[in-house]
Chain A
Amino acid sequence: MFGYYFKLALGSLRRNAVLTALMIAAIGVGIGALMTTLTVFRAMAADPIPSKSRQLFAVQIDNWGPKKGVSPGDKDNLQVQLSYIDAMGLMNANAAHRQTVMYVTGFALTPVNPDLRPFQVQARAAYADFFWMFNAPFRYGGPWSAADDSGHADVVVIGNELNEKVFGGANSVGKTIDLDDHEYRIVGVLDRWQPTPKYFDLNGNTYGTPEDAFIPFTRAIDQQMASWGNTNCPSGGGPSGWDARLQSECIWMQFWVELPTPADAARYRAFLNNYAAEQQRSGRFSWPPNTRLRDVREWLVYQHAVDDGVRILVLVSFSFLLVCLLNAMGLMLAKIMGRVADIGVRRALGANRRAIFSQCLIEASVVGLAGGLLGLLLTALGLLGLRSLLSEDVGRLTHFSPADVIIAVTLSIAATTLAGLYPTWRAAQVQPAWQLKSQ
């Protein structure tokens, strides 16, 4: 019977071409708008490392106490970064399965060829665990060793783009590059890597690409490499000079740990509390321990990784789709009320309620299917528009995946069928006797 209903649906839709076009256009526009914003939203709200998002944790320690200065984004009396003192305290305690402290810095890279001009290289100072923890993909070579960390070695892992730029994409492991007048030996080259959002450091561009190069944290501190990220200092006087900065309560480092099991996480939470309690006993903190361990997903929510503008757009486009569906529902209702006579005849000729119900519902689904296909087209256009309107980092998130095709069409059919339920139910209520009596 499905084929028959489908045929009937097509015929019925063709006969009311204008009305059908209106319905399909309304649903298409609604689906298009929602899919466009949803694509960006999903990219923003996506889990950047699904296999480990419950095992990687950002660490927070309140080292400013209740009387604090101003730190952007602090909502719960907790700073989003750590001071050097606390970062090193945790590193030395070595209480996690894997751990790394890190911060953003940068160099000028001077090419070997004297005709080429120096260019900027953004770098992240971290421990070797960084690569293992965050599943950084290597094209050539690999991370540096723990010995390199403790030896403050002048080694570097470079990103794919930098390798293309300097070595034309060849295996550059073992070669050196001149970063701020010092030769660094390349131990690894990363493959293309775009964790979205850049969850391990949300201070700068939330959707930016990872840095061009990575060097051992110990080496960066030796070299007194300034932070290129955010630095926030509590009230009570700013540090003057490098050593004073290291000893200050200014916050400028991120600290992440990998804890494979919930039990590990619970142990680490206790450890953090102990650490803060220790600081209180020693007189550095004059307040009770206030520490937090958040896994990747919690961290993204806490840090508000999804842009407010995009949230508003999703909200607006959801409501818009609702209007489009109400619209389609009204038109379907009108259409069915105009066909009551035909339905009455069909009922008299032996169609039961289910037959009428199926016939009308399939008609609604066909509208949904057509609306979904139109919606896909509009989504492609919408994403193209978004890319030209939004900044490069956000614009990069506007990619359409094959899965979205299925989502759009399924959503469209489901939503339209749902909107068609009431008109269809009304159609099924038509009495077979109706037509006879009216004569």
Chain B
Amino acid sequence: MELGPIISAMRRNKVGAIVVGVQMAITLAILCNALFIIEQRVALGKRPTGTDEANIVVITNQWAGHPTDLAAKLQGDLAALRSMPGVVDAFASNTYPLSNGGSSLNLKLNPEQRESTAQTALYIADEHGLQTLGLKLIAGRNFTADEVLDRMPGTNVPPSAVIVTRALAEKLFPGKNAAGQSVYSEYQKTLAPIVGVVDKLQVPWTQAGGFGSKFNDSSLLEPYRHEAPYGYYLVHAQPGQAVAVMKAAEKRLIEVNRARVLQKSQTLTEARAEAYKDDRGLVIILGVVCAALVAVTAFGIVGLTSYWVAQRRRQIGIRRALGATRTAIIRYFQTENFLIAAVGSIGGIGLALSLNLWMVTAFEMERLDTRYALIGAVFVLLLGQLAVLWPALKAASIPPALATRAA
């Protein structure tokens, strides 16, 4: 291909070429960073909780007034829930996955240790917890009924046993079987035996880069009856019956005792949608902006190249008269665009990486995978070729006879 004439033609229309090149560079920089963010947020919203979400219902229970004998009230409620048709199992807890609220603990291996070994979310559960949540026990055993103690919130009752997630076990005892080991909670000032390890249970916090994001799968279950004026009933329904069970359970609880507020009931599937709503919104908005960006850049190239073609009509006619084939004319514009896009892409990759570097410091952002920038560059090159095709075809259709006519 005749690069020389193309380059000298571009030098005569320097600013036009620069404008297109810079436009492509910025497009590339935005595109690969936005796609990177999209990919990350999508992955964030897909993280599993480790529970059987579709079949788990959460009912928020708040007692009105200052109820006495919370222990009896809790057992009454749980007995009522467990005896309902369509219910597999139920228990009461201080929090639930995807709730974005809960407690965390710092764990050590022994009281003398200065720095804590791991941070973990705390889930309160009785012996029904594992079955209700649908957690998979991979080592050890479930809590026994004897291990489950009474506990009012705000009081400090040393746990008789704990169950940890695989991720937490790995952090505490890398390469070893955690079941049978003991762990020391700084807050409770007790060494508690680990009786079981479950495969996965996500912490309740879900925000990108927010609290809990550093120990996303490190959860700890402690065996208590959650005798609190405010708490959550988690109910595992038979497959497909979650919504029906939710309505029936609310009604049943009111029948058992009217002096309560059932502030909010939802399935964990609904809780997931709510927890990631803003992330999903960001993904969609970024997607729309990216689409618009690609369209604007493409149409810009189409418009500008069309103009160049129109301006060089006579020149092109003369070239045709001198024997240039249609393909040669198309090649000319494609090569011209390729040269601009190539320079733009190199600048764009640099811009993309520095934009990302800045975002890493300004926001809770991860480093951009260089592959994204390369894929983006290929995309921008293809976009340019595609956009230039139509004006190039128009140029190729200019008749050689044009050369013989007066300007």
Chain A contacts to B: CB under 8 angstroms: 18-19, 22, 25-26, 29-30, 33, 37, 69-70, 72-73, 106, 108, 110, 117-120, 180-181, 226, 228, 233, 235-242, 245, 307-309, 311-313, 315-317, 319-320, 322-324, 326-327, 329-331, 333-335, 337-338, 385-386, 389-391, 394, 422, 426
| A323–B27 CB distance below 8 A | yes
Within 8 Å CB of A331, what residues of B? 300, 303-304, 307
Q: Does B321 contact A (CB under 8 A)?
A: no
| B310–A241 CB distance below 8 A | no
CA distance A155 to B359 in the complex (A): 49
| B296–A29 CB distance below 8 A | yes
| B19–A238 CB distance below 8 A | no
| A320–B307 CB distance below 8 A | no
| B278–A235 CB distance below 8 A | no
Among the listed A308, A329, A386, which residue makes an inter-chain contact with B285, where contact means beta carbons less than 8 Å apart?
A: A386
Among the listed A117, A245, A312, which residue makes an inter-chain contact with B282, where contact means beta carbons less than 8 Å apart?
A: A312
A-B contact pairs, 22 of them (CB 8 A): A33-B289, A70-B119, A72-B211, A108-B64, A110-B64, A237-B186, A237-B187, A308-B208, A309-B281, A309-B282, A312-B282, A319-B26, A320-B30, A320-B296, A323-B27, A327-B296, A330-B19, A334-B311, A385-B288, A389-B280, A390-B281, A422-B15
Number of contacts between A and B (CB, 8 Å)?
187
CA distance A180 to B66 in the complex (A): 6
Q: Does B335 contact A (CB under 8 A)?
A: no
| A33–B187 CB distance below 8 A | no
CA distance A330 to B33 in the complex (A): 25
Say whether, besides A118-B259, A312-B359, A337 and B311 are in contact (CB < 8 Å): yes
| A323–B293 CB distance below 8 A | yes
Say whether, besides A120-B263, A323-B296, A316 and B66 are in contact (CB < 8 Å): no
Within 8 Å CB of B155, what residues of A? 240-241
Given A335-B307, A337-B16, A385-B288; 6 other pairs, CB 8 A cutoff? A22-B300, A108-B63, A118-B261, A181-B64, A309-B282, A331-B304
Within 8 Å CB of B307, what residues of A? 19, 331, 334-335, 337-338
| A330–B300 CB distance below 8 A | yes
Interface of A is mostly: helix
Within 8 Å CB of A316, what residues of B? 30, 33-34, 286, 289
| A389–B300 CB distance below 8 A | no
Within 8 Å CB of A312, what residues of B? 37, 282, 286, 359, 363
Q: Does B260 contact A (CB under 8 A)?
A: yes
Say whether, besides A311-B362, A330-B304, A389-B284, A235 and B296 are in contact (CB < 8 Å): no
| B303–A118 CB distance below 8 A | no
Distance to closest chain A CB from B274 (angstroms): 7
The 5 closest A-B pairs by CB, nearest first: A181-B65, A334-B307, A108-B64, A389-B281, A240-B156
Within 8 Å CB of B65, what residues of A? 108, 110, 180-181
Within 8 Å CB of A324, what residues of B? 296
Distance to closest chain B CB from A303 (angstroms): 13
Within 8 Å CB of B211, what residues of A? 72-73
Which of chain B's residues 102-131 have a Cβ closer than 8 Å to chain A? 104, 106, 116, 119
